[in-house]
Amino acid sequence: MNNMKTFLDIEGRLMDVESFLSKARTIVTIGRASEEAYNVVPLQDEETDVFQCQLSRADEGWKVQNGQWRTECPKGIRSRLQHACNLCLGRCVNVSPAHPKYSWRIPEKATLLNGVALTSEAKVLQDGDVITIGKTSIKVVVQ
């Protein structure tokens, strides 16, 4: 991976994408703030789907995909593996660690990258790219 840092500019607030990562969290999920799921970047936008999109690392920097990988929660709450959830006192785990129930959740409305609808195919983010989700615009800043 290159040594450039990638930031998300959301409503004038610049956030370092790397700051969202941990040993358990390797993907940055973006979606509407909701009790239905924990999103690393929750948006206060009713036109945004709960499972809108995700960012992941690539050799070229960061890539974005429309939709999110999710696992089933033993308490019935949809949440990604190893993420603290707003509705559970513990950490989410797979129903069966040997056979996780992953599913790709596609949002009702598309995520746009520079005005073009994304698919589940990952696109590498470049400096100046704009991710549009509902009424929210997120500018990508690479330094």
14-51: pLDDT as tens digits: 999 999 887 667 889 999 988 767 888 999 999 999 88
* CATH code for position 50: 2.60.200.20
| Cα 59 off chain centre by | 18
Q: Is position 72 within any domain?
A: yes
Report the b/e string of 10-24 with b at 16+ CB within 10 A.
Answer: beeeebebeebeeee
The range of the structural domain enclosing residue 45 comes to 6-142
Domain count, the chain: 1
Q: Is the pLDDT of residue 117 over 90?
A: yes
User: Which tokens sit at 69?
Assistant: 């990988």
58-96: pLDDT as tens digits: 888 899 999 987 765 544 444 444 444 444 433 444 444
User: Which tokens sit at 12?
Assistant: 């004038």
DSSP symbol at 80: -
